Amino acid sequence: MTDSAAAAILEKLESILEPGKLRTDAESLDTYGRDWTKKHTPRPLAIAFPKTTEQVQAIVRLANEYKVGIVPSGGRTGLSGGAMATNGEIVVAFDYMNQIEAFNAADRTVVCQAGVVTEQLQTFAEENNLFYPVDFASAGSSQIGGNLSTNAGGIKVIRYGMTRDWVAGLEVVTGKGDVLQLNRNLVKNATGYDLRHLFIGAEGTLGLITRATMKLARQPKNLTVLVLGLSHFRHVMDVLETFSAAIDLTAFEFFSHKALKHVLARGEVPAPFEGEAPFYALIEFEAVTEQVLEESMGLFEKAVEAGWVVDGVISQSETQARNLWRLREDISETISEHTPYKNDISVVPSRVPAFLEEIDAVVTRHYPDFEIIWFGHIGDGNLHLNILKPRDLPKEEFFKRCEQVNTWVFEIVQKHEGSVSAEHGVGLLKKDYIGYSRSPEEIEYMKAIKRAFDPNNVMNPGKLIDL
């Protein structure tokens, strides 16, 4: 891009946006031009903060006029490089489109602008005696638009599903600059292609989500947490099958003792029990009656007698339940100082034990001097593999060494008919590996869809797929 073109774009952006809503200072470019990944260097042209859909539409049309890329920015909590602006793009940040605009108690729906923070929606639902069930560690900073763009999952998928399952309607600005109202909040709508689902999980490559109507559920009652120490990882499916056959679970998570040690080292939460186990399962359910609690204790005793479980603890209060959850949810934050190389992969739940053992053997064999951390959402088949960087190893060399094993890991993913990205998206980091989960024919259809909505390739260019 020439200096004169850049100057013209900035001048027109100033005229589109409200005063003070365009930033070009170095700090803003660095902050809003990146996500949680650390591999790429941000180099955006400018950061635009629209307040209306009309302003977003004008920005997209400007981008088409000058053939300049647009990168959407939400809470920037992504782990795949999907929000990285590395090539002079306009970053469109939704921080000022953060209003909850309407609530319909009869329909159990709430209209949110794209910049509404996940926790903000959760709190609003609770204040109205309802529940927004999509939940994860970054709920306090992630935004609804970003959640939709990556089809975020989190810790309650086993009971409530993914973000896509809670979307009644969408307003989007396509890559052409058209504003579409998708599905109009209907429960039943048999009028052809449901375009809203194309934008969910598209990582901003088809257009920008500006507004969403989200569905809410009833509040769960007396959520109870059980943490079990497993004698061997292969027993995780025995425990899952046993508990889920008798009780409606709201979560089933797992983590390794290596992961737990990082959480306990902070000293903020106590160990679940005195002994240690190589792996742990965290089970959450609604203890609506004493009978359910008694049944859960009977299942625990059965698991101990079978040799699957060595010890366990059940929450006796909301505070204890929160602390038990922290054993799992604090893992990402406590290992972040070690610059982890992350892989977010999935298979159908029944294949998880064999899948994990194969990958763990490959990674351990090739990286005997690296610490390997496992945790994930076993109830939906999603595993998080984290390789921690040794303190004295330069970041560039560490990432280079880790990338060498990706092919082996993803060959195992392909063998088990899994996904190379379960919930973090593809972005920049996984783009070269999408062929391990999608056939060449699927990828060509995806490219055709991209061309239909974004013929000039201005929407998050270089992410997910290349045209």
Write down which residue in 96, 120, 145 finishes a domain. Answer: 96
Q: What is the DSSP letter of 336?
A: G
Quote the radius of gyration of the chain (alpha carbons, Å). 23
In a domain? residue 436: no
Is residue 383 located within the same domain as residue 311? Answer: no
In a domain? residue 272: yes
Total domains in the fold of the chain: 4
Retrieve residue 360's tokens.
Answer: 């763990």
Write down which residue in 332, 357, 390 finishes a domain. Answer: 332
Q: How far apart are CA 225 and CA 77, in angstroms?
A: 27
Is residue 90 located within the same domain as residue 117? Answer: no
In a domain? residue 463: no
Residue 40: pLDDT above 90?
Answer: no
325-362 residue pLDDT tens: 999 999 999 998 898 888 899 999 999 999 999 999 99
In a domain? residue 451: no
Is residue 82 located within the same domain as residue 36? Answer: yes
Is residue 316 located within the same domain as residue 349? Answer: no
CB 381 within 8 A of CB 346: yes
In a domain? residue 320: yes
CB 420 within 8 A of CB 433: yes
Overall pTM > 0.85: yes
Q: Compute the C-alpha angle 338/266/397, nearest 5°.
A: 5
In a domain? residue 353: yes
Q: Which amino acid is at 22?
A: L
The CATH number linked to 16 is 3.30.43.10
382-395 residue pLDDT tens: 999 999 999 899 98
| Strand ordering across the sheet containing 22-23 | 22-23, 46-48, 90-93, 70-73
Q: 218-243: string of b/e by CB count within 10 Å (b at 16+)?
A: eebeebbbbbbbbbebebbbbbbebb
Residue 136: pLDDT above 90?
Answer: no
In a domain? residue 465: no
Contacts of 328 (CB under 8 A, 6+ apart): 155, 253, 255, 282, 375
Residue 291: pLDDT above 80?
Answer: yes
Q: How many Å separate Cα 251 from the centre of its chain? A: 16
| Residue in the structure block whose two tokens are 């170095």 | 26
Is residue 92 located within the same domain as residue 106? Answer: no
260-285 residue pLDDT tens: 999 999 999 999 999 999 999 999 99
Residue 404: pLDDT above 90?
Answer: no
Is residue 249 located within the same domain as residue 213? Answer: no
Q: What is the DSSP letter of 143?
A: B
Mean pLDDT is highest, among 125-134, 400-409, 420-429, for: 125-134
In a domain? residue 443: no
Taking all residues of the chain, what is their mean pLDDT, rounded to a whole number? Answer: 95
CB 370 within 8 A of CB 258: no
Is residue 326 located within the same domain as residue 354? Answer: no
Is residue 202 located within the same domain as residue 231? Answer: no
The CATH number linked to 158 is 3.30.465.10
421-457 residue pLDDT tens: 998 899 988 999 999 999 999 999 999 999 999 999 9
Residue 27: pLDDT above 90?
Answer: yes
Is residue 176 located within the same domain as residue 271? Answer: no
Retrieve residue 274's tokens.
Answer: 């005195």
The CATH number linked to 230 is 3.30.70.2190
| Structural domain range at position 412 | 339-430
Retrieve residue 393's tokens.
Answer: 């190893």
Write down which residue in 96, 122, 142 finishes a domain. Answer: 96
Is residue 137 located within the same domain as residue 152? Answer: yes
Is residue 78 located within the same domain as residue 134? Answer: no
